[in-house]
Amino acid sequence: MTTMTEASVREFKMPDVGEGLTEAEILKWYVQPGDTVTDGQVVCEVETAKAAVELPIPYDGVVRALHFPEGTTVDVGTSIIAVAVAGGAAPEAPAEPAQAVPAQPKQEPKPEGRQPVLVGYGVATSSTKRRPRKGPEVTVPAAAQAVQPELNGHGAGADRTRPLAKPPVRKLAKDLGVDLATVTPSGPDGVITREDVHAAATPRAAEPAAPVAAAPAVAPAPVASYDTARETRVPVKGVRKATAQAMVGSAFTAPHVTEFVTVDVTRTMKLVEELKHDKEMQGLRVNPLLLIAKALLVAIKRNPDVNASWDEAGQEIVRKHYVNLGIAAATPRGLIVPNIKDAHEKTLPQLAEALGELVTTAREGKTSPAAMQGGTVTITNVGVFGVDTGTPILNPGESAILAVGAIKLQPWVHKGKVKPRQVTTLALSFDHRLVDGELGSKVLADVAAVLEQPKRLITWA
């Protein structure tokens, strides 16, 4: 305990590593209690609803405690690791010599003053604490007892049995004729709140409701039982939880319409093989998806109104003058949709490079939250699984998504004769609030036309 006078303990809280995220799962700790850490050193890896992210510590020190084990989901703003920092702030240093503090009670207005005493016990501090705590109270129960009289404005030990409540709450209790000694506190550190007083003033007739409320808490237990040898239950969290929420929200918010077209892509497949040997494409990932993405970008250029979103709050259609092309990617952690920023401005080699980086990063689980935000349209390639087509659900905030089926050798009428040709089926789902059937049909038809005659990439672009 003597080290408390030599170093202050700082609590590092779970940050919001995305935009508005509320929780993250701790995947792996890279440090253990007793390890020395430096400013900027990665201490753990967490998985948010959007991606796996490594968290660096923002100061030098020695790890005192890891508050949560791996696999725990923690709310943003919750302390996850305690680090002893040499030369800490003044309010934290006098945590042990408490007897020297009462003469200067206003020097410790911050809640951090109690943290060195209670570190490791997991007891949250309260911002309402103004008075210094008593040094001898080092255990959790004793510390709680010491805090009560101090918060009531009494530093002497004679009043330690007096209930803990703020002056306005005491006045309320007096007005309602409630004895605070009989009130069960619900506030932090045993503080009696206004709600506690009102509850105590409620007629006793309302008390029988307590057993009724407690009974359902026991009833669900049998429902949770299952045969572990025949079933496995996997907690819904991280990417899977975010995907589920997004898909439900999209499916029941945007009225989906899906159209299909089957197209001969033999010429496109020939072009893919030629591009693989082109010196301008050396070292780049060249596959059918590259030309399909380029075909969709051309179709959007010819039909720009499809590149939009619906603003429910403003009751407006927001037309985008840029294309952030999303690519649905299956990863070990679930489905994610990173996007290529300003894809409409990229040349074919640049688009190939961006697609390669996107796929590699996704497979490694290193896709950043920023890479998955701001998409305008998406491509999902279900053909890689041998599937002919599907009815894709829109990515939230977007107006269209193109599904690409498997490319197969099939009999096809070509120049008046039945010949084996490479054929695929495309499916375009769109938000019918802002994309009419005519517009959606034109976009899908243009994509098909480009894939059937790739020279249109030049004539239409």
**Phi and psi, residue 382, nearest 5°:** -80, -10
Cα gap 128→151, rounded to integer Å? 8
Q: Dig out the tokens for 368 from the structure.
A: 């950043």
Tell me which H or E stretch contains 402. strand 400-404
Q: What do you get for the CA distance between the two ends of the chain, in Å?
A: 72
HSE of 323, CA atoms in CB hemisphere, 13 A: 26
The yes-or-no answer on residue 198 being catalytic is no
Among residues 400, 392, 399, 448, which one has the least CA distance to residue 425?
A: 448
Alpha helices in 319-455, H assignment, sequence order: 348-363, 437-452
Among residues 150, 153, 76, 80, which one has the least CA distance to residue 113?
A: 150
CA distances from 56 to 4, 14, 29, 59, 164 (A): 24, 11, 11, 9, 40
Strands of 76-152, DSSP E: 79-86
**Phi and psi, residue 336, nearest 5°:** -130, 160
CA distances from 448 to 119, 401, 438, 454 (A): 64, 15, 15, 10
Catalytic residues: 432
